[in-house]
A and B are shown apart, each in its own frame.
Chain A
């Protein structure tokens, strides 16, 4: 066989194989083409290889070289076709799987914004060494008034300013329950200072607590008032506790709560304005400094505070010549509302799930 004829056969085969691989529509057609050209037993390349033996001996090296070249080319063409096809399959698979579909949601709950506010306050006060305590919401005259230096004549005791428990609601046969103790009516506590009295009565100084929970005052419900709200009150009684300690603890609290590094880390300051509460003397209103992005600054009312009145210390059996102490109280709702931009306190108690969902 002439070398030229052999090479011509090889070239024709190579061109056919290329065309055949390129036109194979799917994996099966490609496999059929592979068997036709590269099949180990009956492939056409194999058939051509047999022609190699008939080539003139002198031409054999050239023919063999060319054969190998063509074989590699056909194999490469097959590999390329295979690669092309599998790439197409991935594309199709990807197309059929939409990664932008919504993930399968985990339906998580929500904690009430007031709970979250309280938790953060407790957390900060805990780091400042104050242990959180709670106490009864229904209180007696002693804990809600008398021990807090609120005498009988004080307007804070007015029935219109408190929810006293009714005594004449009973129908015959009902058990009387406890609507008064020792002839004095019970009431829904109007402040959480009651808890401080209970703790001081049962614990010798030092005392370092925050008391918190629901309190009740007969306010008509409107955007800023609700007859039930939450208070958090701090109390520190020890030897040598001063108003400077009070100011410093309040500044640390405000700095932790409002002046976090993430929020810009501004220095927060507090100031005192004289005020009047029966259970503290001196009594002050506490303001916190604020600065906004525009560089404006001012003062924000935080709550009431003061040095525990000697009468209160005596009422719980402490000696005001031995120990001093401070107390402060913050309205939870007010701070919560400010933090979240809530403009109507009633939203906190309406329990619309669209509202709760946002926390």
Chain B
């Protein structure tokens, strides 16, 4: 809301300094947005929150200034002289949609002379950035900017039958607005119609064929109240936002409607001449009386933390226009003014008192009670997870939670349910709530490839959204990463994360079949019988799908599962004082034998003396080992808690392992 200082000064004595004015207004609810010089006048742009439509006119802003600086507020009392015939002999008003239009008033002026507005009025409108049209239209805009009540002037001759009917639009009804665009109205739109057709979109915009033009002689002046939701819906649906719709959306002063009408007529008579018809057409229901609100004085310190003297409280409320109906040592009762629909409860009055008394009175060094705070389990786990990713050289990425449909289908290890979709894309085509972070990270990978960035090692911790029938979706937090390294490196990340969070957890690796990934180089990790994660190198088709030039691997881990399994406080194991003994084994097995089977067999056969089994390498040589064979080289570290192991004891363990491997996987010690 831009206000003209020249105009404001008509209602209240302004403080000398503009800075003093704007500073105080900013601190009491009218935030300064900017100041512009406009000729001799100054335009001050004030931000008005949606609960304060009373400040969408100069009188409202002047009232605030009057309260704050303790000045008198001078509001004109318009008394336009009516010399014409009774208005009800000329026109009629019918409200067919009372729920969309609580009140409609109309006055008629005959014989006006359309012409330019005088400079004083035109200049004020220009200060506000409002286009200057002609003396009648300018008068309606002027009064709207004076008191916040939108007005509309119809060319009375164009109103068929001299009738105003406020009704809902008919199916398929069309309307041409003063911007000369035709709109097809959706059913239920509140329109102002004459005997034949819609002549205005209620509260939003007038119609082209009833607008005031150079040839207009007779006027019907509308001052009404339209339901805010309806005005908002119409303005939104047709993308027609006007200063009028802006004010109706926030609500107008029900008691100010007639004042605005009289004020507007008075101004038109002054600027354009003519003869005002006697009386007013005033339809609609009376608003119920506002109930009084009780403010208990003790509530002020309870909420604000400071005492405000009761006489100060009463003065603030009265200055703001409240009518005091009761006062005792404990409380005050007041009826708020009609222009303050936002004041309905005790707490609302407390806010008014605080605002005017000054928030600067509230101390910033209160002794706030101490309290213990705890870090959640998930926070602790996430910190460890991020620590591992940091140490492993990954950069943390953040990608949008929604993806385009094709990405969603590219990789979905956690669900087969159709993805949830937003009714409008969150960004560009991204309207599906993602079920994996992998596609997003691959897109980030492609972006970095295109920038020729080396070392594209990215991870993200975020949620995936898994639909559940009849409930809120299951949101699972996952860790996802993409690397230019290979399968074993990516798998190593999973193992390192699990080891850092849940060292006792044993994960099982199983083969997997995700089309995005290389058919051989992919696997799932399981914790018990639950899917913990997926890891794999991208296959050719997967790379093509995300337009990637270089090899890449991905992994994704269910962090919720990991949080459950997390062991955040370890209990130390006693350390053996005796030295370890190592044995290397070189076992020849069929190509199909998995390392996991060899390791498991060795661990079980070796028994409790086995401290560690470390894989070294796989050796293939058709001539020496035979076709379809490979040799697995690994080390076994043995240690006893009870004494130094002898060579014989160590050899015995090794022999047990060799024998067990021969039996379980057909392994033979390499000659």
Contact = CB atoms under 8 A, between A and B. Distances in A.
Nearest to B454: A353
B396 A109 contact: yes
Interface of A: 107-112, 114-115, 122, 125-134, 136-140, 153, 155, 158-160, 163-166, 169-171, 174-179, 181, 186, 188, 206, 208, 214, 216, 218, 221, 227-228, 238, 240, 242-245, 247-252, 269-276, 281-285, 307, 309-310, 324, 348-354, 356-357
B29 A165 contact: no
Contacts of A214: 401, 462
B418 A228 contact: no
A208 B398 CA distance: 29
A303 to B, nearest CB: 14
Given A112-B396, A155-B249, A274-B28, A238 B390 contact: no
Contacts of B359: 243, 271-274, 284
A236 to B, nearest CB: 8
B362 A176 contact: no
B525 to A, nearest CB: 21
A59 to B, nearest CB: 71
A310 B371 contact: no
Contacts of A273: 26-27, 29, 31, 359
A251 B29 CA distance: 21
Contact of A227 (B304, B366, B426): B426
B420 A310 contact: no
Given A188-B422, A216-B401, A243-B362, A354 B453 contact: yes
Given A111-B390, A242-B302, A243-B305, A165 B427 contact: no
Contacts of B350: 281-282
A358 B360 CA distance: 40
Chain A binding surface, main DSSP class: mixed
Contact of B472 (A133, A138, A243, A353): A138
Contacts of B469: 175-178
Interface in B465-496: 465, 467-473, 475
B652 interface: no
Interface in B438-470: 444, 447-448, 451, 453, 455-459, 462-463, 465, 467-470
Nearest to A226: B427
A332 B634 CA distance: 51
B433 interface: yes
B401 to A, nearest CB: 6
21 contacts: A107-B393, A109-B457, A111-B396, A115-B396, A126-B373, A131-B375, A163-B424, A164-B423, A178-B473, A188-B422, A214-B401, A214-B462, A242-B303, A243-B359, A244-B363, A248-B368, A271-B360, A276-B49, A307-B347, A324-B303, A353-B395
A114 B398 CA distance: 9
Given A129-B373, A131-B373, A242 B401 contact: no
B429 interface: no
Nearest to B28: A274
A247 B364 CA distance: 5
B572 interface: no
A28 B48 CA distance: 96
B348 interface: yes
A174 B408 CA distance: 15
Given A166-B423, A216-B426, A351 B447 contact: yes
Contacts of B510: none
Contact of B420 (A114, A159, A165): A165
A281 B400 contact: no
Contacts of A140: 472
B81 interface: no
B71 interface: no
Q: Which 4 A-B pairs have the closest CB atoms?
A: A244-B305, A177-B467, A242-B305, A129-B371
B618 interface: no
A165 B472 contact: no
Interface of B: 26-29, 31, 49-52, 228-229, 232, 236, 249, 301-306, 345, 347-348, 350-351, 354-355, 359-360, 362-376, 378-379, 386, 389-401, 417-418, 420-424, 426-427, 431, 433, 444, 447-448, 451, 453, 455-459, 462-463, 465, 467-473, 475
A108 B302 contact: no
Contacts of A129: 369-373
B49 to A, nearest CB: 4
A178 B398 contact: no
A153 B341 CA distance: 15
Contact of B49 (A171, A272, A275, A356): A275
B204 to A, nearest CB: 15
B390 A110 contact: yes
Given A242-B304, A309-B347, A249 B368 contact: yes
A274 B301 CA distance: 18
Contacts of A134: 378
Contacts of A166: 421-423, 431
A358 to B, nearest CB: 10
Contact of A109 (B27, B389, B453, B463): B389
Given A133-B376, A188-B422, A274-B355, A247 B366 contact: yes
Nearest to B423: A166
Contact of A136 (B229, B367, B400, B475): B475
B345 A244 contact: no
B426 A163 contact: yes
B420 A138 contact: yes
Contacts of B471: 178, 181
Q: Which of B389, B447, B472, B475 has the most CB of A within 10 A?
A: B472
B403 to A, nearest CB: 12
A351 B460 CA distance: 10
A120 B363 CA distance: 26
